Amino acid sequence: MDMEVTAWHALHSTMTAQQGRRRFSRATLRRITAFARPHRRRLLWFLVLSSLTALLAVATPLLAGRVVDAIVSGDPPDVVVGLSGLIAVIAVAEAGLGLLTRWLSAGIGEGLILDLRTTVYDHVQRMPLAFFTRTRTGALVSRLNNDVIGAQRAFSDTLSGVVSNIVTLLLTLVVMLGLSWQITLIALVLLPVFVLPARRVGRRLADLRREGADHNAAMGTQMTERFSAPGATLVKLMGRPARESAEFATRARRVRDIGVRSAMVQTYFVTALTLVSALALAVVYGLGGFLALHGRLEPGAIVSLALLLTRLYAPLTALSGAHIEVMSALVSFERVFEVLDLEPLITEKPDARAVPEGPVSVEFDSVRFGYPAADKVSLASLEEVAALDTRGGEEVLHGISFRAEPGQMVALVGSSGAGKSTVAQLLPRLYDADSGAVRLAGVDVRDLTAASLREVLGMVTQDGHLFHDSIRENLLLARPEAAEAELWDALRRARLAELIDRLPDGLDTVVGERGYRLSGGERQRLTIARLLLAHPRVVILDEATAHLDNTSEAAVQEALTEALEGRTALVIAHRLSTVRAADVILVVEDGRIVERGTHEALLADGGRYAELYRTQFTDAPEHPEAGPATGEEAGRPDAGQDPLAALAN
């Protein structure tokens, strides 16, 4: 390692150490130890081999000095050849140990990444829906990527660096003092000239890196939002492209300017330290030569001291900020543990049982519920806010009670925000009731296994979410073992089989992000096909025909009729025309059931339901609730034609 490389290493170490200075507790160290325990054997070998590599690194300068002494003293050629051969053997051994150490380091680091990522991923999977509604996806993904990698660095880089630097430093000091205590002391006196500028410039570069990261994050956020299909549509319809471009260019120019400044600061620093290092070497050669001419030092010792000088400065510089560097690396563990410390509100009991076989009834018994406060389900850092919202916890459902017998359809209607969707979310345990009970087949859902709930319940929401994958994979999400014939049967029953059969890629057609390549009606029918494939005994429809035009609604209604046949159903709808045939209609207002009965009975009562009905149907055409294409269909370039049909053509 020459002096310039040493200078770069010093700069990188101090710059990294200045970022994220933070204290951490012994509890954090204990948890880190628990994660490291499965890798303890590899860690031990890793530390032993790192120490051995440091020992060999000190041996080479000594042998180089012996070669010079052998030449000066006129030793036989075989001595010089033998020493040179030994240097070659050590070089080969160093290379081999380096490869082995790197293999162990990679295995430990990647194994730790695997353990942390799977642990965090599995934990996040158990979090309640409120966690995802509050958390910024990018911040959460960052914990699984950047922070996990930072935690890995604590083992694969920082730990090995500290051990090897300590061993190298001690051995180098012992050897240099043995060769010449005068030159060693002068080298130590020059150390502050090497270390102090590194720490100051490191702080400056850390500030520049943080500023650049902020601007890069802002650019990333702008690109993520504008490059999604809904975001691009909004910009094209209502945005100002010139302003968008100007904002992005401003941030990009700031990143460029910071990059130039960082490059120049680094170059000035490395140039200065390289100069200082060259002067230090001049001192070694000058003082060493003086001592050698007076017979107080062997010529080979001068060469050894010059080679050892870089092996003294590099570990001393690194260790001078080692405690900060360790904390900077290990702070990533704390950011990961922050997520793991969020307790899931929905847990499965150890003695949970499956939903009983046979027809399933649905019962809500005096259910009260309030959405959890932010501090129970989220972190300020994941929401990217200074402090969590203190609101939350207020009761939104007040004593909801009703029963749907097996095979019955119960409809929930009412104003927006009345609590209808909240009722539906309690059944599959997206949330748990605060009091009262929600029962399936007479059993409290909190006493049932999550797997049996997924098998029994099927839900279709108004957004009809699909993954950016093929039609086949989106269907198999409901039942991975389904055969090809079953997929086509579900599509046929959802009134989609003919369209998909005409596609060049058929079931392997990719639907795009959130299914955006499909129209709203096609997306809904595909989610209904997925539901049919799952064969649920209870179906929940939450505004399944919202935002659809007349044609799409008619197709979806046909598919829904197929989906509801013979099943217990809970249907939420704003369009009252879709719930006329319900066995029981519940009118929900302000978290309470204010009316219940059949369509005809509620109209005859002249209450809230009759008022809603008159609002929708007075002086309206045959299907007044179905207006022109809205939402994503209104902004689509192919609005008015069937996207799947267009693909097929």
pLDDT tens track for 255-286: 888 888 877 877 777 676 677 777 777 888 88
C-alpha 134/C-alpha 424 separation (Å) is 20
Q: Do the strands 592-597 and 584-589 form a parallel or antiparallel pair, or are they unpaired?
A: antiparallel
194/174: higher pLDDT: 174
Provide the 3-class DSSP secondary structure of residue 372: coil
Note whether 598 and 615 are within 8 A (CB).
Answer: no
Look at strands 538-542 and 568-572 and give their pairing: parallel
- Residue 412 pLDDT class (50, 70, 90 cuts): very high
Strands 584-589 and 409-413: parallel
437 torsion bin: left (phi>0), alpha (psi -120 to 50), beta (else)? beta
Q: Which residues, 6+ apart, have CB-to-CB distance to 216 below 8 Å?
A: 255
Domain residue limits, the chain: 3-340, 362-374+392-648
Chain segment 292-330, per-residue pLDDT in tens:
888 888 888 888 888 887 777 777 766 765 665 666 667
The three-class DSSP label of residue 130 is helix
160-177: b (≥16 Cβ within 10 Å) or e: bbbbbbbbbbebbbebbe
> Tens of pLDDT along 382-411?
776 656 666 667 889 999 999 999 989 999
More confident position, 523 or 383:
523
Phi-psi bin for 356: left (phi > 0), alpha (psi -120 to 50), beta?
A: beta
The answer to whether the beta carbons of residues 431 and 130 sit under 8 Å apart is: yes
Nearest-angstrom CA–CA distance, 643 and 631: 15
How far is the C-alpha of 244 from the C-alpha of 222, rounded, in Å? 9
* CA atoms of 97 and 108, how far apart (whole Å): 16
| 612: enclosing H helix or E strand | helix 608-617
Cβ pair 644, 507 in contact under 8 A: no
Q: What is the mean pLDDT of the segment spanning 17-46?
A: 73
Pick the closest to residue 70 from 57, 55, 86 (CA basis). 86
Left (φ > 0), alpha (ψ -120 to 50) or beta: where does 496 sit?
Answer: alpha
- SS3 of the chain: helix, strand, coil, percent, to 5: 65, 10, 25
This prediction has a pTM of: 0.67
- Please enumerate in sequence order all residues whose Cβ is within 8 A of that of 256, keeping only pairs 6 or more positions apart, or say none: none
Which residue in the block uniquely carries the two structure tokens 């990333």? 220
Cα–Cα distance between 148 and 30 in angstroms, integer? 17
Q: Which amino acid is at 446?
A: R
In order, the DSSP letters of 272-333 are HHHHHHHHHHHHHHHHHHHHHHTTSS-HHHHHHHHHHHHHHHHHHHHHHTHHHHHHHHHHHH
**Which token pair is 300?**
């080979």
As a whole number of angstroms, the distance between CA 388 and CA 307 comes to: 56
Q: Residue 570 — pLDDT band, cuts 50, 70, 90?
A: very high
> In this model, does residue 89 exceed pLDDT 90?
yes
CATH number for the region 3-340 comes to 1.20.1560.10
Res 191 pLDDT > 70: no
- Label residue 437 by pLDDT band (50, 70, 90): very high
Edge-to-edge strands, sheet with 409-413? 457-461, 538-542, 568-572, 409-413, 584-589, 592-597
Pick the closest to residue 510 from 475, 476, 471 (CA basis).
Answer: 471
Q: Determine the 3-state secondary structure of 76 from DSSP.
A: coil
| Per-residue confidence band for 434, with pLDDT thresholds at 50, 70 and 90 | very high
In contact, 418 and 425? CB cutoff 8 Å: no
CATH of domain 362-374+392-648: 3.40.50.300
Six token digits for residue 48: 């032993």
Structure-token pair, residue 43? 């860690």
Quick one: pLDDT at residue 584? 93
The pLDDT, as a whole number, for residue 310 is: 74
Percent share of the chain, pLDDT over 70? 78
Angle formed at CA 41 by CA 38 and CA 43, multiple of 5 degrees: 90
State yes or no: pLDDT of 541 exceeds 80: yes
**What is residue 533's predicted lDDT score, i.e. its pLDDT?**
87
DSSP-assigned states of every residue in 137-205: HHHHHHIIIIIHHHHHHIIIIIIHHHHHHHHHHHHHHHHHHHH-HHHHHHHHHTHHHHHHHHHHHHHHH
pLDDT in the model for residue 329: 65
Task: List the structure tokens of 416.
Answer: 């927006």
Residues 231-257 have pLDDT tens digits of: 776 676 666 777 778 888 888 888 888
CA distances for 463 relative to 316, 515, 524, 542, angstroms:
60, 10, 8, 9
Work out the angle between the directed axes of helices 241-293 and 299-320 (0-180°, nearest 10): 140
Kindly tell me if the per-residue pLDDT of 576 is higher than 90.
Answer: no
What band does 458 get if pLDDT is binned at 50, 70 and 90?
Answer: confident
| Predicted pLDDT of residue 550 | 66
Looking from the CA of 398 toward its CB, the CA atoms found within 13 Å total 11
Neighbours of 3 (CB within 10 A): 21
Minimum mean pLDDT range among 26-35, 42-51, 64-73, 173-182: 26-35
Helices (H) and strands (E) in the chain, counts: 26, 10
Give phi and psi for 361, each to the nearest 5. -95, 160
Q: Is 365 helix (H, G, I), strand (E, B) or coil?
A: strand
Buried b or exposed e, range 481-520, using 16+ CB within 10 angstroms:
ebeeebbbbbbbbbbbbebbeebeeebebebeebbbbbbb
Sheet containing 443-444: order of strands:
395-404, 362-370, 435-440, 443-444
SS3 label, residue 386: coil
What does the mean pLDDT of the chain come to? 78
Query: In this structure, are residues 385 and 561 in contact, taking their beta carbons and an 8 Å threshold?
Result: no
Query: What is the 3 state secondary structure string of 413-454?
Result: ECCCCCCHHHHHHHCCCCCCCCEEEEEECCEEHHHECHHHHH
- 617: Cβ contacts below 8 Å, ≥ 6 apart: 576, 624
